[in-house]
Structure 1
Amino acid sequence: MYAIRPARPDDLAAVVELVVRLQADPDHHVGYHGTSAAEIAEELAGLRPDWASGAVLAVAEDGTPRGVISVDADAEVGRAWLFGPFVELPADHPAFRQCWHNVADELLEAAMAVPRLSGITDLELFGHRRNRRLGDFAARHGFTQRATSRVFTLTGSALRPVLVAAVDDADTARPLGADPQVRAQVIELHERCFPNTTVTGRQLVEGARGHTIVVATGATGLLGFAAGYAQPDELYVDYVAVDPEMRGAGTGRALIRALLRELAAKEGPRPQAAAVISLGNDASERMFTALGFGLHLELVGYRREP
């Protein structure tokens, strides 16, 4: 139905338009992407080492992109993430489901040949729980369903007080500096709290993925840290880790507030803050809801390991 070809840099604008249309529908939504054109353009532009060399398209006869899958890979972690597959078909197509899967399969087959996937067989997908076609696609290709994650957001009038109010533990919540001991403690705590995650402790501390980090320290050393980054439409809280002996004392909430303030100061304010929390992590949900965050949507992960 569509021709499959490698993406080119000049395809980016048309691909962003395609993904914006499909992201607005939970039945097509993929969790690695935002929903606005600015967010999606930034996310695609951030794929390493570039977007076009790691993406393949399904194009109509007139050359218009009607499907795409993009690949992000990290050789150090030994894992890759598939942004898609996105497939757009006429709503009244008589064989919508079958054609969707045929195009998606062709996109995946072509994507598996991109050089950045050489030697990497640990793959992940992530999509809205209503994206049933993605779940079926994952199962057919040997992916197993992993934990459901819940996206919590804080917007508008509820976000502003968090950014301007005094931060708890203000004397200890501060940006990560150059102190080698504190940096080493952040790496150790990150690896302990988030084993086998998408970013290693070293990558986090060295800024390899563009994170801003704030830390809380005390007489015994590191109490906890929070890390995140700014996107075009939101401030994203990616990691919050607190030493087990300090949990329940408000350190996590103080770190989140300090991180959001630091991101807003560095990158400018945004209309929304967001965080993704694994379903069942009740302590983290309580921590974020205490700050005013509310449930926005639920996403399901799929993984194919070696």
Structure 2
Amino acid sequence: MYPIRAATSTDLDEVVDVLARLQAEPAHHIAYHGETAEEITAELTGMRPDWASGTLLATDSGGRVRGVLSVESDAEVGRAWLHGPYVDVPANHPAAAQLWHQTADALLERALRLPSLRGITDLELCGHRQHRLLADFAARHDFHTGRTSRVFVLTGAGLRAVLIRGAAEESTVDSAVRVLPDDPGLRAAVIALHERSFPGRTVTGRQLVDGSRGHCVVVLAGARGLIGYAAGYPQEGELYVDLVAVDPNRRSRGAGRALVRGLLRELAARHGARAQAAAVVALGNDASERMFTALGFTLHLELVSYRQVAGTG
């Protein structure tokens, strides 16, 4: 097992190098981070100004980084996300699986003592469906297997078509999509629809509408009030569609597709175009898969989440 220490700001380049190599392999891929060095740097440092304060490292006898675990927590929702554990086992190691698990266990044990996890009893981690080491790690530490999610992406001509469609091609529904205004009634309706559609989600309705988690929100409303909303944010190299919700009584009329198009255009206008757009859909949510597929999105990978909540089991 490798010794564990806290990360420092000078470790960033080596940490990013390790993560980029492991993210490229389905058997080691972890959610929450991107796949390129640029994406990983942006997301790692974006968790907090001092990214190292929530990051632990495992190092070998030569001081090289062999394991990484970063922690992100939200006291308001009482949950923390474990970005890892990543373990870089040397090629042809005679006890690779044992070394992976010993290092991952040590990283977790040290992480649970971080100040940011005081009072947090709900932990979540997530990785590629083919990451069997992570699945075994989760089971040993009483994390229950949660939902399987499918990541869909839109690139190239398909994305350009969404972003530059001319006004003459807009439907009445598309034209009605707008950025969430400073309207107390409409904001309350978005909060209510969000809480109904995504109970227990990592972002609350209040955080969504006040932008404290970085979301851009667009809405579609009619004479009878809110029809639906979409929310997302820019990431390194992509525009991310995080949430889409339409009133159950007003679905199957193109509202969801119009909201996604409106959101992507607003994100591109605010932050510049990106090489791709991405969205995560829970396995079994056939309606959302059909919606994104109709927009030109294609399946990229599948992720499995694991969750440990104190007092359950």
- Distance (Å, rounded) in 2 between the aligned partners of 1:130 and 1:50: 32
8 Å CA contact retained: 1:124, 1:301 = yes
- Distance (Å, rounded) in 1 between the aligned partners of 2:52 and 2:28: 22
Counterpart in the other structure of 1:291:
295
Counterpart in the other structure of 1:176:
180
Counterpart in the other structure of 1:23:
23
- Distance (Å, rounded) in 2 between the aligned partners of 1:233 and 1:292: 18
Counterpart in the other structure of 1:221:
225
Counterpart in the other structure of 1:33:
33
User: SS in structure 2 opposite 1:27?
Assistant: helix
* Structure 1 runs (4+) greater than 4 angstroms displaced: none
Q: Deviations over 1:226-270 (max 9, x none)?
A: 000111111100000001111000000000000001111111111
Counterpart in the other structure of 1:60:
60
Which residue of 195, 201, 204 corresponds with 2:205? Answer: 201
TM-score by length of 1: 0.98
* Range 183-192 or range 168-177, more displaced: 168-177
User: SS in structure 1 opposite 2:22?
Assistant: helix
Task: Letter of the 1:256 partner, please give it.
Answer: V
The alpha-carbon deviation at position 164 of structure 1 amounts to 1.4
8 Å CA contact retained: 1:68, 1:87 = yes
Counterpart in the other structure of 2:192:
188
- Distance (Å, rounded) in 2 between the aligned partners of 1:63 and 1:225: 49
- Distance (Å, rounded) in 2 between the aligned partners of 1:170 and 1:291: 13
- Distance (Å, rounded) in 2 between the aligned partners of 1:221 and 1:172: 13
When residues 293 and 141 of structure 1 are mapped into structure 2, their CA distance, relative to the original with a 3 A threshold, is same
Residue identity (%): 62
Task: Letter of the 1:191 partner, please give it.
Answer: E
8 Å CA contact retained: 1:167, 1:258 = no
The alpha-carbon deviation at position 216 of structure 1 amounts to 0.5
Name stretches of at least 5 consecutive residues in structure 1 with no aligned partner: none
Counterpart in the other structure of 1:161:
161
- Distance (Å, rounded) in 1 between the aligned partners of 2:83 and 2:70: 5
- Distance (Å, rounded) in 1 between the aligned partners of 2:14 and 2:186: 45
Counterpart in the other structure of 1:96:
96
Counterpart in the other structure of 1:149:
149
Task: Letter of the 1:189 partner, please give it.
Answer: L
* Range 94-103 or range 39-48, more displaced: 39-48
8 Å CA contact retained: 1:253, 1:288 = yes
- Distance (Å, rounded) in 2 between the aligned partners of 1:219 and 1:20: 49
Q: Deviations over 1:83-139 (max 9, x none)?
A: 000000112000000010000000000011100000111100100000000000000
* Range 97-106 or range 40-49, more displaced: 40-49
* Cα RMSD for the two superposed structures: 1.1
8 Å CA contact retained: 1:67, 1:86 = yes
Counterpart in the other structure of 1:108:
108
- Distance (Å, rounded) in 1 between the aligned partners of 2:111 and 2:207: 26
Counterpart in the other structure of 1:69:
69
Counterpart in the other structure of 1:265:
269
The alpha-carbon deviation at position 61 of structure 1 amounts to 2.0
The alpha-carbon deviation at position 171 of structure 1 amounts to 3.5
The alpha-carbon deviation at position 167 of structure 1 amounts to 4.2
